[in-house]
Amino acid sequence: MELRKMLNIPDELFRNMTRYPGAPEPEENGSTFEENALIKARAARDFTGEWALADDSGLEVDLLNGEPGVQSARYAGIHGDDDANNAVLLEKLAAIPDGQRTAHFSCAIALVSPNGEEYVANGKCYGRILHVGRGN
């Protein structure tokens, strides 16, 4: 709940789905970050009957025609293994010079209301892929 903490919103007003026993884990089968954010927000709204906010995000490498894209978390075939995903990406870009390693991080945030109103915001952060991993 990074957003809740950043905005200093009380727990009572901004609840994580882990506080709802039996909540479904929707299949993120959209072809865009926006579609996946809406899938998750609609599922949360349908389960709770309340306003719901969800996001989807990932890395898009220009030279790879937007890969890994919506498959960012599963790029190496293992959901959530960031080290493996990074290794696959670095291997694909190994022979690519610095000037051609441009990429951007994309994020879509969807807000849906109990009566069906839907709002989506998209953002991108541009940069380049280094030759070795950095950070954690």
* Cβ-contact 122, 107 below 8 angstroms: yes
Write down the residue that tokens 């190496």 correspond to. Answer: 76
| Phi, psi (degrees; rounded to nearest 5) at 102 | -75, 145
Tell the burial category of 129 from Cβ atoms under 10 Å away from its Cβ (0-12, 13-18, 19+): buried
> Which are the contacts of 97, defined by CB distance < 8 A and separation ≥ 6?
none
CA distances from 76 to 30, 54, 73, 92 (A): 19, 24, 8, 12
- Is 62 catalytic? The answer is no
Catalytic residue among 11, 46, 56, 98: 56
Active site residues: 56
